[in-house]
């Protein structure tokens, strides 16, 4: 099925689950190499990250841990530009190698604030792995060390990403039809 409807909008398939799997594996291979001999803590940013974290971790061969935080700025398909408070961080990250795992970096405001907040707890290192980045939308400078796909300024759903709560279950990724 290449065309679907989510709520009131039409979407067309743009990235297949096979392409996603191949790119996620490449990101994992880089992390395996860069963190050899270390034990990074992957900090998944809910809700959108859950499929990416799962597939990424299955491809990690190094010792690693996972935890989840929540920090959302989106409602519907328009960014509010407002970033809310970070919740869910129960363990100490001081002296740890942290990889923040995000579904998509859009304006970059969420990740910017996230890095600022986490840096206060003095981790040994702090990097971002994001499945998607929309470079043309960035409003602040954010260094995404591990990104699987750079995409144009289009709203997408699937593989964990939603449009107003729906579409997260789709194995492939779909672009909105304008
Ligand atoms: P940022 O703070 O503008 O970078 O927003 C990041 C968050 O916005 C992501 O974690 C997503 O939850 C959401 N988001 C941004 N673009 C999209 C999209 O195309 N589809 C679904 N969610 C998106």
Residues tagged active-site: 106
Ligand 1 centroid–CA 118 distance in Å is 20
Per-residue model confidence as pLDDT tens digits over 110-126: 999 999 999 999 999 99
The 156-157 sheet, strands edge to edge: 3-6, 9-15, 173-176, 156-157
Mean pLDDT, residues 66-71 taken together = 91
Name 109's Cβ contacts closer than 8 Å, sequence gap at least 6.
Answer: 73, 79, 81, 83, 139, 140
Closest ligand 1 atom, CA of 161? 21
Verdict on whether the full-model pTM lies above 0.85 = yes
Crossing angle of the two packed helices 50-58 and 17-34, in degrees rounded to 10:
60
**Å from CA of 132 to ligand 1 middle:** 9
Distance between Cα 163 and ligand 1 center (Å): 10
Q: How far apart are CA 157 and CA 176, in angstroms?
A: 8
Question: Is 17-150 a domain of CATH 2.40.30.30?
Answer: no
Question: Would you say residue 147 has pLDDT above 90?
Answer: yes
Residues with CB under 6 A from ligand 1: 48, 73-74, 79, 102-110, 155-156, 161
Kindly give the number of the ligand 1 atom that is closest to the alpha carbon of 102.
10
Domain parsing of the chain, residue ranges:
17-150
pLDDT band at 8 (very low <50, low <70, confident <90, very high): very high
């Amino acid at each position: 099925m290449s065309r679907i409807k989510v709520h009131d909008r039409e979407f067309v398939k743009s990235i297949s689950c096979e392409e996603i799997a191949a790119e996620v594996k490449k990101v994992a291979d880089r992390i395996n190499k860069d963190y050899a001999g270390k034990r990074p803590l992957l900090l998944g940013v809910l809700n959108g990250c859950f499929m990416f974290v799962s597939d990424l971790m299955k491809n990690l061969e190094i010792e690693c841990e996972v935890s989840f935080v929540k920090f959302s700025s989106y409602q519907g398909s328009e960014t509010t530009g407002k970033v809310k408070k970070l919740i869910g961080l129960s363990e100490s990250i001081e002296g740890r190698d942290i990889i923040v795992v995000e579904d998509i970096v859009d304006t970059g405001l969420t990740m910017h604030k996230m890095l600022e907040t986490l840096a206060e707890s003095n981790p040994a290192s702090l990097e971002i792995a994001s499945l998607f980045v929309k470079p043309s939308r960035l409003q602040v400078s954010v260094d995404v060390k591990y990104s699987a796909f750079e995409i144009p300024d289009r709203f997408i759903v699937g593989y964990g990403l939603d449009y107003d709560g729906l579409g997260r279950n789709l194995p492939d990724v779909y672009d909105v039809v304008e």
